[in-house]
Amino acid sequence: MQDHRSYTRREFLDRTTSCAAHMGVMAAASPLWLRGLWTRQERFPVVASEPWGRLEEISEGIWGLVSNPLQDRATLCNGGIVAGRAGVVVIESFASDDGARWMAQQAMRLAGRPPTHVILTHHHGDHTGGLRGAAESVDVIILATGLTRDTVLERGRNAPADVLEGVELIGAGGSTEIDLGDRSLLVVSRRGHTDSDLSIEISDPSVVFCGDLVWNGMFPNFVDAVPDQLSRNVRVLRRREPTTYVPGHGPLADDAAVGAYIDLLDHVEAAARRAIERGITAEQAGEEYSLPDGMEDWVLFSPQYFARAIGRWTSVLDG
């Protein structure tokens, strides 16, 4: 066992930004304050709590999952459940079949019926790894863009081709309405975290499931990002009225948290512009990079994330 108290925040951040260890190792260390970071930031009543995450009741019939990847990776990404008279939508199929099954059970328990729809926000494995588990619900319709489906088929480890074949496609560009009788959802085609992202949006109450376009408390993964599009799309999905944002990773966010995240995206862009001016590599700029004031608590899945983010920006800026 680690002596959790032997880590200070500063030491932990130093370790996570400098060592080559991955999230698995971070999870093994998982100092208490860091686990506390997730529980401290509960915004709504918690209706289910497991090692891999918690479900918060955002409003009647709307639940957000905040995964805790530091303890257990069954779900790994965030997502949610939206229930109406005519159906129950689950957002994401999560990292594992067990994670997807658990969410289907929660839909049953909370909404009284299994999922009628599962929406994939983008192709990454932590959002699509549990596709087979998600497809086990009777008559469930799985929705994704064509590019998301094709990329999962190409890149996904053990991608279930039979399940992917049955996916109903959401048109890229524009938005698609899902009518649940007493409530409807807008599935909006966006871009920036990957070449094809979806946000799932509700107007009353105002709730946006952002997929990985928005991260909160964790530095975003730019591996497939189109950074200028990301900045633009996050600004566009931000609303004027008070809104709950379900980020792809980290605690549920309000407008202030999304504002801080936009500032972070701008901060990374500025670091990339400076790197170009000084003629240094993204790797060098990433090593020098530090998070803006007030974000010292943010964690990273991998210490390479700074250089990766700056590198994606420099390739856009260099044309």
Contact residues: Zn ion, CB under 5 A: 124, 212
Nearer to Zn ion by Cβ, of 124 and 191: the residue is: 124
Q: d(Cα 220, Cα 277) in Å, to the nearest integer?
A: 24
Burial of 267 (0-12, 13-18, 19+ CB in 10 A): middle
Nearer to Zn ion by Cβ, of 88 and 265: the residue is: 265
Nearer to Zn ion by Cβ, of 97 and 212: the residue is: 212
Q: For residue 98, give every residue at least 6 positions away whose Cβ sits within 8 Å of its Cβ, in sequence order, or none.
A: 74, 130, 133
Nearer to Zn ion by Cβ, of 114 and 125: the residue is: 125
Q: Radius of gyration of the chain from Cα atoms? A: 19
CB of 190 to Zn ion, least distance (A): 13
DSSP letters, 124-166, are -HHHHTTHHHHTTSTTPEEEEEHHHHHHHHHH-TT--HHHHHT
CB of 248 to Zn ion, least distance (A): 6
Q: d(Cα 95, Cα 152) in Å, to the nearest integer?
A: 13
CB of 196 to Zn ion, least distance (A): 11
CB of 292 to Zn ion, least distance (A): 22
Q: Give residue 81's identity as a one-letter amino acid code.
A: I
Nearer to Zn ion by Cβ, of 73 and 124: the residue is: 124
